[in-house]
Amino acid sequence: MTTGLTIAVLGATGMVGSRVITEAAARGHQVRALSRKPASEDPDVTPFAVDASDPDALGEALRACAADAVVVAVRTEPVDQDFLVGTTRAVLDIAAEAGMRVLVVGGAGVLRSPENRALLVADNPAYVPAEVTAVAAAGVAQLRACEAHTGSDWGYLAPPALLEPGERTGRYRRGTDTLLTAADGHSWISAEDLAVAVLDELEAPGADRLVTVVHHD
pLDDT above 90 covers what percent of the chain?
89
Distance CA 180, CA 163 (A): 13
Answer whether 0.85 is exceeded by the pTM. yes
- Residues 106-152: tens digit of each pLDDT: 999 999 999 999 999 999 999 999 999 999 999 999 999 999 998 89
Q: Which residue segments constitute the domains of the chain, with CATH numbers given?
A: 6-215 (3.40.50.720)
Low-confidence stretches of the chain (pLDDT beneath 50): 1
CB 205, CB 179: distance < 8 Å: no
Per-residue pLDDT, 44 = 85
pLDDT of residue 182: 92
Cβ neighbors of 33 (< 8 A, separation 6 or more) are: 9, 12, 13, 17, 21, 40, 45, 46, 47, 48
Would you state the pLDDT for residue 151?
87
Residues 200 and 171: their CA atoms lie apart, in Å, by 12
Can you give the pLDDT at residue 1? 47
